[in-house]
Structure 1
């Protein structure tokens, strides 16, 4: 269901959002852009899941063991991909919730802006680039 704000706020392009001044960070237009992008990602993942289900239901009896092994490996790869997408779907839902709560675009560790370029590259980002680098360094050093 779309809110009145979503209906009246036009969806901008990436270029338009990148050209906005920093003082406009996470304004209504930017939030509408990221909400639309996240919903499109969500729809794409759900469509892929349906295709995978149909693809896995197609039973092909192949007498050659090498061909059968290839088909099984392709299925396993497809299932691993869908598992990663399932995890991404949770992150998308969380990002949509942060848009609704007004916290989207801000680092969950420091409260600083994550930045438009980073959000364009990864709309589900919850950490600023610096906070993410610190977290990865800690994981590398201490195995968290």
Structure 2
């Protein structure tokens, strides 16, 4: 699980490096001004492109041929690695739908605002997690309610 999260962070960091290096949203600006919206739009598009590139690489590797490890232990290890890789790609497929949703929120002028409270999510949170839909406080409350309902 940590390796999957680490890969997701690496892909996001790569997307950030592809953006214009001389602009980073700042708290000194008006919140969700045109330049910030453009920054997040480009970040989300680049992140999505990076995910598609990684998926294409996985698909190409799968098409290169079946696992032909002569040793059963090596074969089992290879199959486990492929299983992890495919689960990672499935997670990223779900992430793409969140990216598309964030892009729609930008188009509708709703991006950057909590879907629960309507308060600004905050630039630091959006830079760390561009698909965030709730403030930290609203997310924590949501997770507490989820945990309570699971425990019942």
Q: If the TM-score is normalised by the length of the shorter chain, which range does it land in?
A: 0.7 to 0.9
2:26 is equivalent to residue 18 of structure 1: yes
Q: Could you say what secondary structure the match of 1:36 adopts?
A: helix
- The aligned residue for residue 29 of structure 1 is 35
2:54 is equivalent to residue 48 of structure 1: yes
- The aligned residue for residue 112 of structure 2 is 105
Paired with 2:28 and 2:44, the residues of 1 have a C-alpha distance of 20
What number of residue pairs does the alignment pair up? Answer: 131
Q: Could you say what secondary structure the match of 2:26 adopts?
A: helix
Listed one character per residue, the Cα deviations across residues 50-86 of structure 1 (whole Å, up to 9, x for unaligned) are 0010111222412110010011011000001001100
Paired with 1:83 and 1:102, the residues of 2 have a C-alpha distance of 29
Structure 1 unaligned blocks of 5 or more: 1-10
Q: Which is worse superposed, 102-111 or 51-60?
A: 51-60
- The aligned residue for residue 70 of structure 1 is 77
Write out the 4+ residue segments of structure 1 that deviate beyond 2 Å after TM superposition: 11-14, 18-21
C-alpha root-mean-square deviation of aligned residues, in Å? 1.7
Normalised to the residue count of structure 1, the TM-score between the two structures is: 0.86
Structure 2 unaligned blocks of 5 or more: 1-19
